[in-house]
């Protein structure tokens, strides 16, 4: 009896709430019958005229092949992304596909991508993604990327236009093409031409070392030159010109700083996948990086990421800097840089820098493969690739480096081509990101906390051996 | 046996319970299950059951012990400073006669900013060359340092930023507690000739014990999960001087893509938080 009474009260409460909610919804319909009838008849007239106009328009202009389709792409916050985004209206005009471009920082992009890539086909948020060189192994190993062979053959896309080293890194993996290279960010040495060509500094260097002051061609020479150029210029007791600007915060930056020195004569693994970073080359590169930090770089460099490093150079407070090929245009932009016009680019002192770049890919989880491929075809077409290069983009197609008008506009193209050709990539393994993280941690411990460099690299090598032991891509 | 009476109030609570089960319990069970498998995102075809192997791997990883130690240092220092500053500010606030609410509103501002925004703001303030903090130090003749770039200063810098943001939380709890204290004991102690410090020690602290304990429990649970500031400002560096446990688990999941190990580490962490908070709540009950 008690339960029955309580249940009845509950039903009454539910009924009251339902009546209250539905009463609100019906009010507007009840209040406006006459207005509805009038507006309906007006709408009928207007819609008849509109449909007639639409029919005429359809007869005049053919329907775009992908009219009404929308795709989502994810990109990194770099200059090359800006150039693509600027050209998107042209793509929409030609194909009817509306592109929603999501632009994120490097770190944020990876964390957003991973959950989206691991879902089933059609359930991912992105139709087109960009893949960094050190994600290639894990994305391919996880079978997250759609092979593009069928599309390439169907539309007779010529992949030989790409720079071979870039296509090996960001195109074909173990015999299957998964990506089309988007842009390169091979690393080299930026230097201040006004400093290196200063006659007073040249004489001073010649008097002190007996050799000419030049863009360094070995790690040892780099350490010497950077130390020489570090000075107090205005006599206030504080250094205001540093020989180098480094990014030594724990992360991909400190790994790149070390690798640009290491690649002069070393690589991560031997042919049997035994880590070699704790050999003389790896430890020597770490010692060189520490020397540069102690003698030629601000104390705060251990907290510098990419932005802080570039800011120091942009303000004219550093003579050299390892950085990406994409930075040539921004560093020479008078609106953004106080050293514009006095910056040139060279191969890393050891002869080999870090090769890098991003590639376009279609994830297996993409909702619309065909529309995604249309975008890839368009953005890597000769016309658009050249348009991007003209805007300042970093080319991935070899023929662009031979275009006379581009060379005239960007005289550093021959150097950039050489930097890419001599660059070394990270290994294409599933655990590449983990390998970089291990190295970044040990390098940071050595630079910022004084850990013994040999011990640091020994510890890194031990972990690097462990992670490739079960890596299916490390064969 | 007593008959179970199910009334309308029990029935009405069912939807909330179901939501809690879905949002809280199911992910927890899924996480425990994941921790028992070799679950690496980049190797989807190979996910065997491996029992407690993930727990063994995590406990054998040297990095976890560093992250636990960093987290303990972070928690103890941050909560202690927040308690001290929050209490002092609450005392001062109770003494202010005019515009008290305005002062309180201003003091609440840091707590209302999202942690990510706090990290970005302080990143700019603490920039070694362009930040205003080092500039102000130079104005008064002190030397600015790269506070986030040196291993000896990075952790304490993060702690002080946390203190800046969350002291208002302690402040508001203490302030409410102080306002609710009865006045008669204070009048009595004044009649007996007690001074200000005796009032604090013999009246205020004992009467505020429960409020203090609640504040400490909540802040300990929060600081044990410290992640946002580390992610924005230091990424665990320099070296591994600021790698908290949460950031360590994040790296397991999103750098190593090893969800099995990340889940195992999370479960271990959850168990330790349950023990810690259980102990603190028992202290709270005993004080009642």
Euclidean distance between the first and final Cα of chain B, in Å?
33
Mean pLDDT score across all residues of chain A: 87
Q: What is the mean pLDDT of residues A342-368?
A: 95
Q: Which of A6, A250, A447 sits opposite B8 (nearest CB)?
A: A6
Task: Tell me whether residues A299 and B149 touch, CB distance under 8 A.
Answer: yes
Is residue B284 within 8 A of residue B214, CB to CB? The reply is yes
* pLDDT greater than 90 at residue B167: yes
Task: Determine the Cα–Cα distance for residues A388 and A86; give it in Å rounded to an integer.
Answer: 9
Shared-domain flag, residues A293 and A437:
yes
- The domain that holds A191 is classified in CATH as 3.40.190.10
CA atoms within 13 A on the CB side of B246: 16
* pLDDT greater than 80 at residue A117: yes
Q: Which of A304, A350, A302 is nearest to A448 (CA)?
A: A302
Residues contacting residue A52 through CB under 8 Å, at least 6 positions apart? none
Shared-domain flag, residues A456 and A376:
no
* pLDDT greater than 50 at residue A34: no
H-assigned helices in A345-452: 369-379, 382-391, 404-409, 413-422, 432-449
* Residue where a domain terminates, one of A384, A403, A422: A422
Mean pLDDT score across all residues of chain B: 89
Please report how the helices B100-112 and B62-95 are oriented relative to each other, as an axis angle in degrees rounded to 10: 170
Task: Determine the Cα–Cα distance for residues A432 and A139; give it in Å rounded to an integer.
Answer: 11
Residue B128 contacts A, CB cutoff 8 Å: yes
Task: Determine the Cα–Cα distance for residues B158 and B180; give it in Å rounded to an integer.
Answer: 34
- Report if residue A37 sits inside a domain: no
pLDDT digit string (tens) for A406-421? 999 988 899 999 999 8
Q: What is the mean pLDDT of residues B240-266?
A: 93
Task: Determine the Cα–Cα distance for residues B172 and B159; give it in Å rounded to an integer.
Answer: 20
Residue A9 is predicted with a pLDDT of 58
Residues contacting residue A51 through CB under 8 Å, at least 6 positions apart? none
Residue A79 is predicted with a pLDDT of 85
- Report if residue A127 sits inside a domain: yes
Residue B148 contacts A, CB cutoff 8 Å: yes
Looking at chain B, how many residues does it have? 288
Q: Which of A247-261, A422-436, B210-224 has the highest mean pLDDT?
A: A247-261
- C-alpha triplet A286, A291, A294: angle, nearest 5°: 125
Task: Determine the Cα–Cα distance for residues A242 and A298; give it in Å rounded to an integer.
Answer: 7
Euclidean distance between the first and final Cα of chain A, in Å?
75
Residue B241 contacts A, CB cutoff 8 Å: yes
Name the residue with higher pLDDT: A255 or B24: A255
The count of structural domains within chain A is 2
- Report if residue A12 sits inside a domain: no
* pLDDT greater than 80 at residue A301: yes
- On chain A, the residues whose CB falls within 8 A of the CB of B251 are 437
Shared-domain flag, residues A372 and A447:
no
Query: How much of chain A exceeds pLDDT 70, in percent?
Result: 87
pTM of this structure = 0.82
Residue A460 is predicted with a pLDDT of 97
Confidence band, pLDDT 50/70/90 cuts, at residue B199: confident
Shared-domain flag, residues A170 and A317:
no
Query: How much of chain B exceeds pLDDT 70, in percent?
Result: 97
CA distance A443 to chain B (A): 8
* pLDDT greater than 60 at residue A36: no
Residue B287 is predicted with a pLDDT of 60
Task: Determine the Cα–Cα distance for residues A172 and B91; give it in Å rounded to an integer.
Answer: 68
- Report if residue A27 sits inside a domain: no
Residue A266 contacts B, CB cutoff 8 Å: no
Task: Determine the Cα–Cα distance for residues A259 and A268; give it in Å rounded to an integer.
Answer: 9
Residue A255 contacts B, CB cutoff 8 Å: no
- Report if residue A436 sits inside a domain: yes
Shared-domain flag, residues A266 and A328:
yes
Least confident residue range of A206-215, B38-47, B94-103: B38-47
* Domain limits for position A116: 70-186+356-422
Shared-domain flag, residues A139 and A235:
no
Task: Tell me whether residues B256 and A431 touch, CB distance under 8 A.
Answer: yes
Q: What is the mean pLDDT of residues B67-87?
A: 96
Shared-domain flag, residues A169 and A211:
no
Residue A7 is predicted with a pLDDT of 53
Q: Which residue has the tokens 């702690």?
A: B159
Shared-domain flag, residues A458 and A349:
yes
Token pair listed for A261? 């020195």
Task: Tell me whether residues B146 and A138 touch, CB distance under 8 A.
Answer: no
* pLDDT greater than 80 at residue A209: yes
Interface test with A, best of B155, B237, B262 (most A CBs within 10 A): B237
Q: Which of A308, A431, A448 sits opposite B238 (nearest CB)?
A: A448
Is residue B248 within 8 A of residue B63, CB to CB? The reply is yes
Task: Tell me whether residues A441 and B145 touch, CB distance under 8 A.
Answer: no
Task: Determine the Cα–Cα distance for residues B62 and A455; give it in Å rounded to an integer.
Answer: 15
Shared-domain flag, residues A314 and A237:
yes
Shared-domain flag, residues A414 and A454:
no
Q: How many C-beta atoms surround the C-beta of residue B225 within 10 A?
A: 16
- Report if residue A2 sits inside a domain: no
pLDDT digit string (tens) for B79-132? 999 999 999 999 999 988 889 889 999 999 999 999 889 999 999 999 888 889
Confidence band, pLDDT 50/70/90 cuts, at residue B192: confident
Q: What is the mean pLDDT of residues B192-218?
A: 87
Shared-domain flag, residues A347 and A253:
yes
Residue A10 is predicted with a pLDDT of 53
What structural domains and CATH numbers belong to chain B? 55-287 (1.10.3720.10)
Task: Determine the Cα–Cα distance for residues A441 and A182; give it in Å rounded to an integer.
Answer: 29
Confidence band, pLDDT 50/70/90 cuts, at residue A185: very high
Confidence band, pLDDT 50/70/90 cuts, at residue A106: confident
Task: Tell me whether residues B130 and A311 touch, CB distance under 8 A.
Answer: yes
Q: Which of A6, A114, A249 sits opposite B257 (nearest CB)?
A: A114
Q: Are strands A172-173 and A179-184 parallel, antiparallel or unpaired?
A: unpaired
- Report if residue A238 sits inside a domain: yes
Task: Determine the Cα–Cα distance for residues B215 and B221; give it in Å rounded to an integer.
Answer: 10
DSSP assignment of B218-284, as one string? HHHHHHHT--HHIIIIITT-STTTT--HHHHHHHHHHTS-BHHHHHHHHHHHHHHHHHHHHHHHHHH
Task: Determine the Cα–Cα distance for residues B211 and B227; give it in Å rounded to an integer.
Answer: 26
- Report if residue A65 sits inside a domain: no
- On chain B, the residues whose CB falls within 8 A of the CB of A6 are 7-8
Q: Which residue has the tokens 């065997």?
A: B48
Task: Tell me whether residues A141 and B239 touch, CB distance under 8 A.
Answer: no
Shared-domain flag, residues A266 and A367:
no
Residue B138 contacts A, CB cutoff 8 Å: no
Q: Which of B5, B8, B150 sits opposite A448 (nearest CB)?
A: B150
Residue A13 is predicted with a pLDDT of 56
Task: Determine the Cα–Cα distance for residues A284 and A280; give it in Å rounded to an integer.
Answer: 6
pLDDT digit string (tens) for A46-103? 444 555 555 554 455 567 778 889 999 999 988 899 999 999 999 999 999 999 999 9
Task: Tell me whether residues B236 and A250 touch, CB distance under 8 A.
Answer: yes
Least confident residue range of A100-104, A129-133, A415-419, B2-6: B2-6
Task: Tell me whether residues A111 and B145 touch, CB distance under 8 A.
Answer: no
């Amino acid at each position: 009896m008690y339960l029955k009474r309580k249940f009845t009260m509950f039903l009454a409460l539910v009924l009251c709430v339902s009546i209250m909610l539905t009463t609100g919804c019906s009010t507007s319909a009840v209040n406006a019958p006459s207005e509805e009838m009038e507006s309906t008849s007006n709408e009928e007239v207007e819609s008849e005229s509109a449909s007639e106009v639409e029919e005429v328009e359809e007869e005049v202009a053919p329907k775009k092949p992908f009219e009404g389709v929308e795709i989502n792409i994810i990109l990194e916050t770099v200059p090359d992304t800006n150039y693509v985004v600027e050209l998107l209206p042209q793509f929409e005009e030609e194909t009817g596909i509306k592109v929603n471009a999501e632009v994120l920082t490097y770190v944020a992009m990876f964390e957003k991508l991973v959950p989206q890539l691991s879902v089933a086909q059609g359930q991912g948020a992105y139709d087109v993604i960009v893949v960094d060189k050190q994600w290639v192994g894990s994305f391919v190993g996880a079978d997250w990327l759609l092979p593009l062979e069928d599309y390439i053959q169907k539309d007779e896309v010529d992949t030989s236009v790409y720079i071979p080293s870039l296509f090996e890194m960001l195109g074909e993996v173990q015999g299957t093409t998964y990506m089309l290279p988007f842009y390169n960010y091979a690393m080299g040495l930026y230097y201040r031409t006004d400093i290196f060509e200063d006659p007073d500094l040249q004489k001073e260097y010649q008097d002190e070392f007996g050799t000419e002051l030049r863009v360094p061609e070995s790690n040892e020479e780099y350490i010497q030159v950077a130390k020489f150029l570090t000075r107090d210029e205005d006599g206030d007791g504080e250094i205001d010109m540093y020989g180098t600007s480094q990014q030594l915060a724990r992360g991909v930056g400190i790994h790149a700083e070390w690798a640009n020195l290491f690649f002069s004569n070393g690589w991560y693994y031997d042919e049997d996948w035994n880590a070699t970073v704790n050999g003389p080359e790896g430890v020597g590169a770490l010692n060189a990086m520490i020397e540069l930090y102690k003698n030629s770089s601000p104390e705060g460099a251990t907290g510098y990421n990419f932005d802080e490093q570039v800011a120091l150079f942009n303000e004219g407070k550093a003579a050299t800097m390892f950085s990406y090929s994409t930075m040539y245009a921004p560093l020479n932009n008078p609106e953004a840089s106080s050293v514009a016009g006095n910056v040139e680019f060279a191969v890393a002192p050891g002869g080999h820098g870090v090769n890098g770049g991003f590639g376009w890919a279609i994830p297996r989880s993409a909702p619309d493969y065909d529309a995604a491929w249309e975008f890839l075809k368009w953005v890597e077409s000769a016309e658009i690739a050249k348009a991007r290069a003209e805007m300042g983009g970093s080319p991935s197609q070899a023929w662009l480096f031979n275009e006379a008008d581009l060379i005239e506009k960007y005289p550093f193209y021959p150097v950039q081509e050489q930097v890419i050709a001599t660059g070394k990539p990270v290994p294409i393994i599933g655990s590449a990101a983990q390998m970089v993280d291990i190295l970044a941690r040990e390098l940071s411990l050595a630079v910022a906390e004084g850990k013994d460099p040999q011990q640091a690299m020994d510890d890194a090598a031990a972990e690097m051996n462990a992670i490739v032991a079960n890596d299916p891509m490390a064969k | 046996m007593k008959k179970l009476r199910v009334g309308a109030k029990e029935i009405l609570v069912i939807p909330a319970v179901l939501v809690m089960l879905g949002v809280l319990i199911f992910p927890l069970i899924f996480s425990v299950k994941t921790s028992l498998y070799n679950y690496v995102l980049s190797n989807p075809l190979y996910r065997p059951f491996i029992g407690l192997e993930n727990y063994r791997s995590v406990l054998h990883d040297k990095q976890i012990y560093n992250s636990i130690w960093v987290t303990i240092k972070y928690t103890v220092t941050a909560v202690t400073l927040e308690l001290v500053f929050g209490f002092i500010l609450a005392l001062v606030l109770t003494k202010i006669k005019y515009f008290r609410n305005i002062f309180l509103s201003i003091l609440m501002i840091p707590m209302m900013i999202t942690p990510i925004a706090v990290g970005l703001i302080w990143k700019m303030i603490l920039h070694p060359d362009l930040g205003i903090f080092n500039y102000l130090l130079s104005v008064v003749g002190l030397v600015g340092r790269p506070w986030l770039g040196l291993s000896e200063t990075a952790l304490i810098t993060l702690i002080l930023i946390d203190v800046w943001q969350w002291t208002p939380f302690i402040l508001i709890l203490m302030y409410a507690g102080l306002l609710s204290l009865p006045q008669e004991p204070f009048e009595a102690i004044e009649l007996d000739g007690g001074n200000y410090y005796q009032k604090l020690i013999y009246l205020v602290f004992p009467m505020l014990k429960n409020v203090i304990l609640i504040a400490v429990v909540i802040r300990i649970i929060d600081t044990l999960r410290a992640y946002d500031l580390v992610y924005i400002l230091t990424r665990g560096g320099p070296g591994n001087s600021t790698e908290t446990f949460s950031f360590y688990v994040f790296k397991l999941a999103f750098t190593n893509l090893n969800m099995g190990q990340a889940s195992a580490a999370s479960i271990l962490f959850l168990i330790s938080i349950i023990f810690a908070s259980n102990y603190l709540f028992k202290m709270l009950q005993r004080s009642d």
